[in-house]
Amino acid sequence: MNCLKRPAGKKTIPGAARALPVLVLSLGLWLVGPLRSEEAARYFVLDNGLKVFLLEKRNVPLVNVAAAVNLGSKDETPETSGSVHVLEHYILFRGTETRSGSDISRDIRRHGAYFNAHTGQDLAFFEISVPAASVDFALSNQKDILFHLKITEEELETEKEIILEEFRQLEDDPFKYAAGLAYQNLFRGHPYANPLIGSPEAIKSLTAETIASLYRRYFVPPNCALAVVGDFSLQDMEARVRQVFGEVTGEAPPPRDFAPAKPPEKSADLEVEMDVQKAYLVIAAPAPDFNSPEQYAMDVLTEILGRGVHPLLYSALNQGPRKLVETLQLAYQSHRYGGAVLAFLTLEPKNLSAAKREAVNYLRRTRDEDFSPQDIPGEAQMFAFDHLRSAKNQLKYNAYQAQERGLSMAISLAQFMILRDGQAESRYLESIDRVKSGDLRGVAGKYLGRVDYVIVSIIPKKTK
Amino acid sequence: MFTKKGLPFLLAGLLLATFPARPVSGAQKRTLENGLTFVLERDMSSATTVLQILIKGGMRAEPAGRAGLAFLTTRLAVEIPDSGKAQELIGLATRISIIGQGDSSSIHIECLSSNLEPSLKVLSKIFLDPLFSGIRVDAVKKHMEHQCRIEEDDSVELGHLAALRAFFAGSGYGGSSHGDQASLAAIKSRDVSDFYKSTFVGSNILLCFASDLPEETLLSLAGRFFARLPMGSPLVSKPVPAGEPEPRSIRLERDTKQAFVSAAYRLPAASRRNFALATILQTALGKGQGSRLWPLRSDKKLAYSVNCRLTQMQEGGLLEAYLETEAARMEEARESLRAVMSGLFEAGMAEDELLSAKTATRADFLRDTEAKSRRVSTLALFESLGMGFDFLEVLLPEIDGPGLDEVNAYVRDFLAPEKALEVVIGPKTEP
């Protein structure tokens, strides 16, 4: 849940739209650049427990600072549903012990900063990007909002009303709304089912004390990670970070552990009416978690099935003269305790039933697909398309491209420091390179072949 | 790569990227023998190449009643009929997208630099000799119709198109690059073929690269694969009528939870100075915290989204200040938006506000053009607007140029209340 606003002129496709930075960068793809130096990055932990990663990126005079806090919708109960998102809003907009919300806005403006925050299932993110000359402001601003917030009932009530507007906006956005419903059903019984934005009723009942207690407990250095990417020297930046954040104190919150998410016990097929002319379809299935060795095969499989030019699922739904869908995109989202594959499709409403049936049937059969010429015996091998090689090329391109945006890298690094359990020894692209057709059939069988799917359709209102 | 042994696990065994500075000299321009313009910005930050093939003309060059023709033709120019060749391109992981704009249409290509040559080999073949059969034309038209409906399912896009239609009716600027149902139905294969012949010529096309590959390599590839393009004549576009919408208010009904409320203004033709002024104004009005629209969110609690959108075309521009609010508060939102706009018109911008807006605008441009893909699009856009690709190099000082008097004169010239077009989209309300 992004807290600032959606850009004009872009259809919001949650997951799919954010898939590249979240998916690609979360896996450490920023490491694959052809130009390397052992001096470009530094990792350290401050005495207070704050994890810090610094990465020089000196081609643009910008500094990007991202903080990740180990607090997400997974940590909520039905009574506190939406509280992390409310807190995230409050932190971004409503003021600290020394500055009011309008003071912060003015400061942001004066320094040419981009300032935003996101709430996810596992973590909350707070990011700022400034011209390199304003680096001190960026660091002190992040310290101020993360560790010196002032929470009042009056400011909270104001922000709650804005969040209720966000809720209405969500209800008008077909893909965003459908993806939210898909998550709630895919992870039913697990904390990942908690809606990121909460429910209007729960939001209205949240008090300043509830929010403050959440803030006091989780916004402490040992529960946070800070990544800084941009135009600076490592030595200088380390000194600045130590100076600004070194004095912050706070005890680590009690350890929390969550069970791995299980596949849904039964399928779900939901339809919601909106004032739209086309049908919007989201199909969701479980997927490997953030640290699973199967993530590489799932990345490749997602690429083959639902990205790029004429992916397999698109071709399966549009064979010969029969054309069931117009657009299709697959996203793989990995979290600490589970993952999801989501297909986003647009189509003619009259094709909805056939598209749902055919899409699920095809996904179930994916475990039997030939992904590489090596899978095919005899002469036919010469004419077979190499989906595996194509997808690996795509992922390689994604990896290189991901290096170009400093803020996305900072967010990914911050996420990585908290979520990664450190068991993998392999490099990302090397792991991708090692994926074989059999691995794809393996993850397809495990995650797509024998599970119940969650399907959410947004359809035109019947009165239209 | 990441081990759990020891604290510096993130560093252990990493391949660490360094990012060399962007060259100060910026992009270079060349003209090939057939009139084709070649622009390159060397960027070593990744082993990728982004190429935008920009065909001047765009929606403005479409004959009356044939809206969508520029996009359709451009799309068909990379629609590969040979499935083997198409698969070859897929295998190379080359991404292609089509962009339709007022003054140009573009083919945006992104690939691994190592795959550029084979990608261009496949693409240039169809680009130079496309197939405009009725079946292929109809298939793309069907997809474009679908995209039109998708645009209309989003109130922000619907409002944007309504404002474009109102201000630029009778010129190609006035609508979606995908056309509409009637115009698409009117387009025949012959129209596509004629449009291709007149606009897909060397003197009307720009190849804009951002790549880690050296200039000689790219020039050689451009010469090898695009030399067959005839030189032709640069397109002479029709003038854009200076029409004013009447009435000044548009109300569209959608049964949504929120209402979209915007105030739209026509801006002058593109020039370096006008572009700088428009972007400063856009930032001051509606870009993020501290903007003029921001209190509608932070204080009045009217909206989650407040924004200002600038669409600059060669012969005119469109500035839209808008918010999305609870349907029941639509009237309050209209009043509040009017108050913000008239406040700016009457009192003008203050010195510190202008300073902040300039700082924010400069920083936004740095961020927007950080990655190759957006930078190539920006270079190509500037060229198609007639401002020259090299405007990107001087954009930051250009933003510093206008003083308070000039900015406020601009506000008075173009944001007068009587020049506003109000667009409201939302549920039916009682009179």
The pLDDT tens digits for B273-325 are 999 999 999 999 999 889 999 999 999 999 998 999 999 999 999 999 999 99
CB B356 to CB A106 under 8 A? yes
pTM, two decimals, is 0.91
Distance from CA of A240 to the nearest CA of B (A): 19
**Higher pLDDT, residue B186 or A11:** B186
Q: Which of A163, A393, A423 lies nearest to residue B93, judging by beta carbons?
A: A393
User: For residue A176, with 0-12 CB atoms within 10 Å meaning exposed, 13-18 middle and 19 or more buried, which class applies?
Assistant: buried
ipTM of the complex: 0.90
**Residue A238: per-residue pLDDT:** 98
Chain B residue with Cα closest to A310: B90
Q: Which two tokens stand for residue B25?
A: 């000299």
**Higher pLDDT, residue B54 or B93:** B54
**Residue B81: per-residue pLDDT:** 80
CB under 8 Å to A208, separation ≥6 — which residues? A151, A152, A153, A156
Residues of A in contact with B152 (CB under 8 A): 277
Do residues A415 and A43 make contact, with C-beta atoms less than 8 angstroms apart? no
Residues of B in contact with A158 (CB under 8 A): 298-299, 301
Write the single-letter amino acid at B292: R
A247 touches chain B (CB under 8 A): no
Chain B neighbours among A 285-344 (CB < 8 Å)? 308-310, 326-327
Chain A neighbours among B 20-39 (CB < 8 Å)? 20-22
**What is the number of H-type helices and E-type strands within chain B?**
15, 11
Write the single-letter amino acid at A32: V
A4 touches chain B (CB under 8 A): yes
For residue B184, give the 3-state DSSP assignment: helix
Instruction: Give the fold, CATH level 3, of B28-226.
Output: Cytochrome Bc1 Complex; Chain A, domain 1 (3.30.830)
Q: Which of B2, B110, B146 lies nearest to residue A278, judging by beta carbons?
A: B146
**Vertex B78, ends B178 and A309: CA angle to 5°?**
85
| Structure confidence at residue B431 as a pLDDT band (50, 70, 90) | low
Q: What is the DSSP letter of A2?
A: B
What CA–CA distance (Å, rounded) separates A346 from A199?
Answer: 27
Flag residues of chain A having pLDDT under 50.
Answer: 5-38, 423-426, 464
For residue A206, give the 3-state DSSP assignment: coil
What CA–CA distance (Å, rounded) separates A453 from A341?
Answer: 10
CB B304 to CB A113 under 8 A? no
Across the A:B interface, residue pairs with CB atoms under 8 Å apart total 276
Query: Given a cut of 70, is residue B257 above it in pLDDT?
Result: yes
Instruction: Give the fold, CATH level 3, of A16-245.
Output: Cytochrome Bc1 Complex; Chain A, domain 1 (3.30.830)
DSSP E strands in A231-276: the ranges are 268-274
CB B258 to CB A168 under 8 A? yes
Chain A residue with Cα closest to B358: A112
**Residue B15: per-residue pLDDT:** 34
CA neighbor of A115 nearest in space, from A107, A123, A403:
A107
Chain B neighbours among A 141-180 (CB < 8 Å)? 158, 161-166, 168-169, 171-172, 174
CA neighbor of B350 nearest in space, from B279, B399, B297, B403:
B403
Distance from CA of A345 to the nearest CA of B (A): 12
What CA–CA distance (Å, rounded) separates B212 from B45?
Answer: 7
Distance from CA of B412 to the nearest CA of A (A): 24
Q: Which of B1, B116, B161, B377 to mutate to test the interface with A (most CBs of A within 10 A)?
A: B1
What CA–CA distance (Å, rounded) separates B131 from B387?
Answer: 34
Chain B neighbours among A 372-391 (CB < 8 Å)? 385-386, 389-390
Rounded alpha-carbon distances, angstroms, from residue B419 to B193, B267, B412, B427: 40, 10, 10, 26
CA neighbor of A312 nearest in space, from A385, A398, A395:
A385
CB A390 to CB B305 under 8 A? no
User: DSSP secondary structure string, A113-125?
Assistant: -EEEEEE-SS-EE
Rounded alpha-carbon distances, angstroms, from residue B422 to B102, B303, B312, B315, B416: 22, 17, 19, 22, 13
Residue carrying the six token digits 């959108």: B309
Q: Which two tokens stand for residue B287?
A: 């870009």
Q: Which two tokens stand for residue B209?
A: 């690269």
CB A396 to CB B112 under 8 A? yes
Rounded alpha-carbon distances, angstroms, from residue B295 to A101, B264, B291, B336: 11, 19, 8, 10
Distance from CA of B355 to the nearest CA of A (A): 8
Q: Residue B132's CB: how many other CB atoms inside 10 A?
A: 20
A259 touches chain B (CB under 8 A): no
Residues of A in contact with B256 (CB under 8 A): 172, 274-275
Query: Given a cut of 90, is residue B149 above it in pLDDT?
Result: yes
Q: Which two tokens stand for residue B379?
A: 């270079």
Which phi and psi angles does B210 have, rounded to 5°? -125, 125
Q: Which two tokens stand for residue A164?
A: 């209720």
What CA–CA distance (Å, rounded) separates A184 from A424?
Answer: 30
Residues of A in contact with B258 (CB under 8 A): 165, 168-169, 172
Distance from CA of A191 to the nearest CA of B (A): 26
Element (H, E) at B362: helix B351-368
Q: What is the pLDDT of residues B42-92, one digit of tens each?
A: 998 889 999 999 999 999 999 999 999 999 999 999 998 877 788 888 888
CB under 8 Å to A209, separation ≥6 — which residues? none
Residues of B in contact with A397 (CB under 8 A): 48, 93, 95, 110-112
Q: Strand order of the sheet with strand B205-211? A: B28-31, B37-42, B205-211, B48-56, B104-112, B95-100
CB B16 to CB A37 under 8 A? yes
Report the phi/psi class of residue A195: left, alpha or beta, with left for phi > 0 and alpha for psi in -120 to 50. Answer: beta
Element (H, E) at B208: strand B205-211
What CA–CA distance (Å, rounded) separates A59 from B329?
Answer: 46
Q: Radius of gyration (Cα) for chain A, nearest Å? A: 23
What CA–CA distance (Å, rounded) separates A187 from A43?
Answer: 34
Q: Strand order of the sheet with strand A338-347? A: A268-274, A454-460, A279-287, A338-347, A327-335
Residue extents of the structural domains in chain A: 16-245, 268-460
CA neighbor of A250 nearest in space, from A44, A459, A46, A61:
A46
CA neighbor of A110 nearest in space, from B284, B282, B307:
B284
Chain B neighbours among A 44-103 (CB < 8 Å)? 44-45, 53, 55-62, 93, 101-102
* Architecture label for domain A268-460: 2-Layer Sandwich (3.30)
What CA–CA distance (Å, rounded) separates A170 from A245?
Answer: 36
Which phi and psi angles does A95 have, rounded to 5°? 110, 160
CB A35 to CB B20 under 8 A? yes
Angle between helices B69-76 and B189-199 (to 10 degrees): 80
Element (H, E) at B56: strand B48-56
B333 touches chain A (CB under 8 A): no
Do residues B221 and B116 make contact, with C-beta atoms less than 8 angstroms apart? yes
B17 touches chain A (CB under 8 A): yes
B143 touches chain A (CB under 8 A): yes
Residues of B in contact with A393 (CB under 8 A): 91-93, 112, 115
Q: Which of B21, B303, B360 lies nearest to residue A165, judging by beta carbons?
A: B303
A406 touches chain B (CB under 8 A): yes
User: For residue B342, with 0-12 CB atoms within 10 Å meaning exposed, 13-18 middle and 19 or more buried, which class applies?
Assistant: middle
CB B364 to CB A57 under 8 A? no
Q: What is the pLDDT of residues B194-226, one digit of tens each?
A: 999 999 999 999 999 999 999 999 999 999 999
Report the phi/psi class of residue A42: left, alpha or beta, with left for phi > 0 and alpha for psi in -120 to 50. Answer: beta
Chain B residue with Cα closest to A132: B363
Query: Given a cut of 60, is residue B341 above it in pLDDT?
Result: yes
What CA–CA distance (Å, rounded) separates B292 from B319?
Answer: 14
DSSP E strands in A24-112: the ranges are 41-45, 51-56, 62-69
CA neighbor of B386 nearest in space, from B7, B58, B77:
B58
What CA–CA distance (Å, rounded) separates A424 from A410?
Answer: 21
Do residues A272 and A456 make contact, with C-beta atoms less than 8 angstroms apart? yes
Q: What is the DSSP letter of A266?
A: S
Residues of B in contact with A166 (CB under 8 A): 304
Chain B residue with Cα closest to A129: B367
Burial B45-55 (b: 16+ CB within 10 A, else e): bbbbbbbbbbb
CB B290 to CB A109 under 8 A? yes
Residues of B in contact with A426 (CB under 8 A): 1
Residue carrying the six token digits 């989204």: B305
Helical ranges in A329-436 per DSSP H: 352-365, 387-402, 406-419, 428-434
- Could you tell me where in chain B the CATH 3.30.830.10 domains are found? 28-226, 249-426
Q: Does CATH number 3.30.830.10 belong to domain B249-426? A: yes
